[in-house]
A and B are shown apart, each in its own frame.
Chain A
């Protein structure tokens, strides 16, 4: 049987020269590929023809971490082309090769096809783009490596309108959506496209419902007032912030300036450049709804951070928070109202589906025989009681606002939380696969474009 060439294919971008790095392989020569398995990637750049780049050019805020990964449409034994990779910076910097559609990165021997897909078609391209927290955060080590406040990926071989799924969550969503190799590979191996997935980091601000709503509704003038207050507070404070505290406050200010729910996206595909967004579906987590958030005493905006991040932030940040913010307790009813307002506000602008992950409602290590020792309301004391009340609240919200519940609690119970969520927060790979499957099932049930099964 004639080996199947693995061509990178066309990438039409009129007015720009597309350049790439050498190919970096994710598997060894001789590897038996599955159809749709991502096997290699390269970095890509877009240089305007006959002029200098400017801020209006596409992908400018993701230009330094912009990659294409490749998946063969058929399976077979991989044989790499000798001129695909050169090592070192040649394979990292997207400078040295002009994109040539007929370039062949390798061949598949003994190829077998997936029904309906030709063996001789070009490679399936998966685009990956990261918006750096700071351009200083250079990390070209691998696939979608780096410190990003937003990372995203999309199958780029499809025509038509892309469906966008936005993940606003915490670490549980990171593992589920970005997968074992942190590059959305498992998610996209399971989808037919044209699908586009976006993940927002919770490094500083945890996107609870109240914070997401404020981000969505905040005006430019309000943000400028917040920014001016930051400057006044830290220049007038008795403590001089340490360098790490400037980084923390800078990231906090950056998060306050953005609204992931309002963002549009550029998407490059085999058929050219298009815009997508705001998102067709949003994934939120009850795990992001902490019992307490911080509210600015004068300006009224909310800050929700992981406690350990605040604890590590430093004394000047602590002094600023202590003198300018007050802790606000949130009951399940208040959280429900925040979700309602968020969903109503977003849907007033766009037709958006909402999926919400519930929380584990039992603690494997707990052995309560009587609730008498615990003060009421017990949701303020016992985390398992609060979790149960939150999960019940979510059922009310689902009925009232047509929201899909991703039942993490039930999946953990089925799989065994001692083995698969041993600390109550962080999932095993098996658990992540199951939760990912549930999310894809909900997206398909709601008709979100692009996320059909392969």
Chain B
């Protein structure tokens, strides 16, 4: 079965997210709990202001699936509802037709240990 993952509206005010890290590669079997990707939601992109709430989230799998196609790359800015990845339940399934259902993922707020220091890099 084809399984699709689109960018959910993690925060009611968000319009886009930026892909910060991708943990899985095309062709990989992802088990339950496998890390898929990290992304940031920057609400200051809606209305520039001081103290922008920039949140980092991680998506982890709640399905045992094969990652067949990634529609995103590190650094991409993705709109809510945009396609992120395509999975199948069997390794060799053709990627044809409509997805049978949406991928089940966990979304969790992650502490951005790197942001302090990444902002400091000369």
- With A423-B53, A424-B55 known as contacts, the answer to whether A384 contacts B115 (CB < 8 A) is no
Which of chain A's residues have a CB closer than 8 A to the CB of B13?
422-423
Q: CB-defined interface of B103-122 with A at 8 Å, one 1/0 digit per residue?
A: 00011111111011111111
Chain B residues closer than 8 Å to A310, beta-carbon distance: 116, 119-120
In the assembly, what is the distance between CA of A384 and CA of B12, in Å? 18
Question: Which of B32, B51, B58, B111 is within 8 Å of A308, CB to CB?
Answer: B51
The answer to whether residues A291 and B111 also contact, given A424-B53, A426-B53 and a CB cut-off of 8 A, is yes
Q: Does B10 contact A (CB under 8 A)?
A: yes
Query: A19 on the interface (CB 8 Å rule)?
Result: no
Question: Which of A365, A367, A368, A369 is most buried by chain B, counting CB atoms within 10 A of its CB?
Answer: A365
| In the complex, B54 has a CB within 8 A of chain A | yes
Q: In the bound complex, how far is the Cα of B10 from the Cα of A423, in angstroms?
A: 11
Number of interface residues of A (CB under 8 A): 43
Q: Which residue of A lies closest to B122 (CB)?
A: A319
Q: How many angstroms between the C-alpha atoms of A363 and B110 in the bound complex?
A: 11
In contact, A294 and B53 (Cβ under 8 angstroms)? no
Q: How far is the CA of A328 from the CA of B53 in the complex (A)?
A: 22
A-B pairs, top 8 by smallest CB distance, nearest first, are: A311-B119, A423-B53, A373-B33, A373-B60, A319-B122, A383-B109, A372-B33, A363-B109
Are B33's CB and A365's CB within 8 A?
A: no
Chain A residue with the shortest CB-CB distance to B9 = A365
Choose, from A26-34, A181-189, A336-344, A374-382, the stretch at the interface. A374-382
Complex formed: what's the CA distance from A367 to B79 in Å?
20
A73 contacts across to B, CB distance below 8 A: none
Count residues of B near A (Cβ-Cβ below 8 Å). Answer: 36
How would residues 324 to 351 of chain A score, 1 for a CB under 8 Å from any chain B CB and 0 otherwise? Answer: 0101010000000000000000000000
Q: Within residues 232 to 277 of chain A, which ones have a CB less than 8 A from any CB in chain B?
A: 239
Any chain B CB within 8 A of the CB of A425?
yes
Chain B interface residues toward A at CB < 8 A: 10-13, 32-35, 43, 50-55, 57-58, 60-62, 106-113, 115-122
A→B interface (CB under 8 Å): 170-171, 239, 290-292, 294, 306-308, 310-311, 315, 318-319, 321-322, 325, 327, 329, 363, 365-370, 372-374, 379-384, 386, 418, 422-426
A322 to B119 Cα, complex, angstroms: 10
User: What's the nearest-Cβ distance from chain A to residue B17, in Å?
Assistant: 12
Residue from B32, B52, B117 whose CB has the most chain A CB atoms within 10 Å: B117
Selected contact of B51 from candidates A374, A381, A424, A426, CB within 8 Å: A426
Q: Are A366 and B119 neighbours in the complex by a CB distance under 8 Å? A: no
Q: Decide: A307 near B116, CB < 8 A? Known: A367-B106, A423-B13.
A: yes
| CB contact under 8 A between A308 and B52, given known A369-B62, A373-B34 | yes
Determine whether the beta carbon of A307 is less than 8 Å from that of B115: yes
Contact of B108 among A171, A292, A382, A418 (CB under 8 A): A382
Contact A370 B122 (CB under 8 A): no
Provide the bound-state CA to CA distance between A369 and B61, in Å: 10
Minimum C-beta distance from B28 to chain A (A): 15
Q: Once the chains are docked, how many angstroms separate the CA of A311 from the CA of B55?
A: 15
Contacts of A418 in B (CB 8 A): 12
A327-B117, A373-B33, A373-B60 known; A367 and B107 CB under 8 Å?
yes
How far, in Å, is B33 (CB) from chain A's closest CB?
Answer: 4
Task: List chain A residues, Cβ under 8 A from B50.
Answer: 171
Kindly list chain A residues whose C-beta atoms are within 8 Å of the C-beta of B57: 365
Contact among A292, A321, A367 with B113 in the assembled complex (CB-CB below 8 Å): A292
With A and B bound together, what is the CA distance between A120 and B75 in angstroms?
Answer: 67
- Contact between B106 and A322, CB atoms less than 8 A apart: no
For residue B62, give the distance in angstroms from its CB to the closest CB of chain A. 6
Residue on B nearest A326 in the bound complex, by CB: B117
Beyond A307-B112, A423-B11, is A366–B120 a contact (Cβ under 8 Å)? no
Name the residue of chain A whose CB is nearest to the CB of B51.
Answer: A171
Bound CA span A291–B61, Å: 27
Q: A318-B119, A373-B60, A422-B11 are in contact. Are A384 and B109 (CB under 8 A)?
A: yes
Are B111 and A382 in contact, with the CB atoms below 8 A?
yes
State in angstroms the CA–CA spacing of A372 and B33 once bound together: 6
B106 touches A368 (CB 8 A): yes
A167 to B106, CA, bound (A): 38
A349 CB to nearest chain B CB (Å): 32
> Contacts A171-B51, A311-B119, A423-B43 known; A365 to B111 CB distance under 8 Å?
no
